[in-house]
A = this chain, B = another copy of it.
């Protein structure tokens, strides 16, 4: 078991804005890290070259057990990044075999949400929880589900899609082609859509958001809703309440299947604090089967922003080494 002596691995978090690579220790977490703008990585080969340089530097005087990568649309079983929506390149890229060839190291890959869940299990709020879920409420919703201590990937590698549990049949159209997914309500995008509906109806508080900038600057708009909620704006509070109700539905359905002891939340919506977490706690608890009530904690990730996926990517490498 890797708990017994310190091990080192390299963790990689490939995001839509930045790619990050870190030297990670089982005892100390992130030892050193570097980042690069994802837009500068025009092809998978450039990503692999950038990584290979860091692997070479960090492995000079040390034994590294391997490299783990968390990436959007990363497929653990195939070692590929498949048709990523927010990267400079498209198609299916065999990143694992490319980096293994370039470095001679053992390389493991998973999607970013599963990596984040593993990061929480090893270094964060998931420690000690064999049944656990990590839900990232960002532009979309990322879900990583842990069952019996392992990431639930399913037969085809695409399990754990908490954000695509359907919470309103016939509801909002989702990027996945279906309707009513949790992601269409309880992501930052979903929250903004709810606010805009209120603006169109002229709901109380709508005047705070009835301007062109709110419709065009996505990141600023998200912050503005959070600030307005903190100041008591009724439309902002109602929008967080609606997102909370819809996420509560998804998490209650998740609980009916996987019965976790803890759900860790992360991402934009969580920054609103009680305006979101208060109603979420109430809707979630009321929506649970009675046998689960009072048994499932909702907690906010305590890792630095983005660290969960980076640490979890390294954890992929630690686990692979333990199995070898």
Contact = CB atoms under 8 A, between A and B. Distances in A.
A161 B289 CA distance: 9
B145 A148 contact: no
Nearest to A160: B257
A131 B155 CA distance: 6
Nearest to A150: B148
Given A158-B289, A161-B289, A295-B155, A249 B166 contact: yes
A261 interface: yes
Contacts of A152: 147, 257-259
Contacts of A164: 256, 289
A252 interface: yes
Interface string A151-190: 0111111111110111111000000111000000000000
A166 B257 CA distance: 11
A99 B164 CA distance: 44
Nearest to A245: B169
A291 interface: yes
A40 to B, nearest CB: 29
A254 interface: yes
B252 A154 contact: no
A252 B260 CA distance: 20
A261 B158 CA distance: 11
Contact of A169 (B162, B165, B168, B291): B168
A131 B154 contact: yes
Contacts of A129: 155
Contact of A257 (B131, B169, B254, B261): B254
A259 B166 contact: no
Contacts of A249: 166, 169
Contact of A158 (B154, B167, B253, B291): B291
A290 interface: yes
23 contacts: A130-B155, A145-B257, A152-B257, A152-B258, A152-B259, A154-B259, A155-B259, A156-B259, A156-B291, A156-B292, A157-B259, A158-B259, A159-B258, A159-B259, A162-B257, A164-B256, A164-B289, A165-B257, A167-B169, A169-B169, A178-B289, A254-B257, A257-B258
- Which residue, A155, A176, A253, has most C-beta atoms of chain B within 10 A? A155
